Amino acid sequence: MSTRIAFLKGHGTENDFVIVPDADNAIELPPAAVAALCDRRAGIGGDGLLHVVRSAAHPDARHLAAEAEWFMDYRNGDGSVAEMCGNGVRVFARYLERAGLVGEGDVAVATRGGVKRVHIAKPTEDGAPGDITVAMGKAVLPGGDVTISVDEHQWPALNVNMGNPHAVAFVTDLAHAGRLLDPPPFSPATAYPHGVNVEFVVDRGPRHVAMRVYERGAGETRSCGTGACAVAVAAARRDGLDPAVTGTPVAYTVDVPGGRLVITERPDGEIEKTGPAVIVAEGEIDADWLAAAVAAA
């Protein structure tokens, strides 16, 4: 292997990622290596890592190769494996476009949460990259009463699964979520055996909300794509606008600390998420440094 490894850095509404192109799945990325790369002081820095692999070359995606050429082998910032990352898919697609591997229009991306359909819009009139829309699949509402706690505050939360678990709590002030340095406690303890992403939500106007999020394995982030979808689903149910009942698509604008997303849920349950994706840098990782960081972990 070369002593250097190519990488890029990108973000979607400031949910940022280290991108490692590796079409043949030849680069070993154990959890300690991912954590070192995502370290904001000693590494490149990111909420997570996008390992770009051909589906046929990865054991977790070979069964999807006929539907999607490229697999987003997504890792959280602590090195743990995750099923999906909504903002990550947009940045992943932007990388494929930049690298000349796909063009504008429709693209299929394999993830551990299934194949995601992506649409890359044309550049705007002023030349800025067009927004990217991701078909996020359908939300599952497992039911069950869940409570989220922060300091003296407690809120009921809606259990929403978007390929990964979310607990959505509507609050009166986003500051009540605290500093979100640690996972917010939830009850019952059996509700999320593998941890949960927690969204705190306030209203900004008709079909317009704002959120903060604690992502399992990453801490508080500037944005969470699957979280924004979960929030829109929860808001629609709260507002009596379930598209399956009304027969009409419903769209919510969701403000995240890093920007703005538009989430549309259709009567058949399919959810689309639209927002920006930006590549900000590219370079090389020193493989000797990475090996030393892994050895020291």
DSSP-assigned beta bridge partners for residue 46: none
- pTM of the entire structure? 0.88
- pLDDT digits over 288-297, tens only? 999 999 999 8
- pLDDT digits over 2-53, tens only? 578 999 999 999 999 999 999 999 999 999 999 999 999 999 999 999 999 9
* Residue 224 known to be catalytic: yes
HSE-up of residue 288 (Cα within 13 Å, Cβ side):
1
The CB density around residue 253, as the number of other CB atoms within 10 Å, is: 17
Report whether 226 belongs to an annotated binding site: yes
Query: Would you state the CATH architecture of domain 146-275?
Result: Roll (3.10)
Report whether 164 belongs to an annotated binding site: yes
Q: Which of 85, 93, 134, 236 is catalytic?
A: 85
Residues 6 or more apart in contact with residue 287 via CB below 8 angstroms: 1, 2, 3, 4, 5
- Continuous segment of H or E residues that includes residue 106: strand 105-111
Report whether 76 belongs to an annotated binding site: yes
For residue 113, name the pLDDT band (cuts at 50, 70, 90): confident
* Residue 85 known to be catalytic: yes
- Continuous segment of H or E residues that includes residue 272: strand 270-275
Q: Which of 96, 135, 218, 224 is catalytic?
A: 224
Look at residues 73, 78, 99, 77 and name the one whose alpha carbon lies nearest to residue 16: 77
Can you tell me whether residue 14 is helix, strand or coil? coil
For residue 128, name the pLDDT band (cuts at 50, 70, 90): confident
The CB density around residue 154, as the number of other CB atoms within 10 Å, is: 13
Q: Domain 4-131+278-296 maps to which CATH number in 3.30.70.2610, 3.40.50.150, 3.10.310.10, 3.40.605.10?
A: 3.10.310.10
Which pLDDT value is given to residue 4?
80
Asked which of 82-86, 97-101, 115-119, 210-214 is least confident by mean pLDDT, the reply is: 82-86
For residue 85, name the pLDDT band (cuts at 50, 70, 90): confident
DSSP-assigned beta bridge partners for residue 116: 109
Q: Where in the chain is the domain with CATH 3.10.310.10?
A: 4-131+278-296, 146-275
- Continuous segment of H or E residues that includes residue 225: helix 225-238
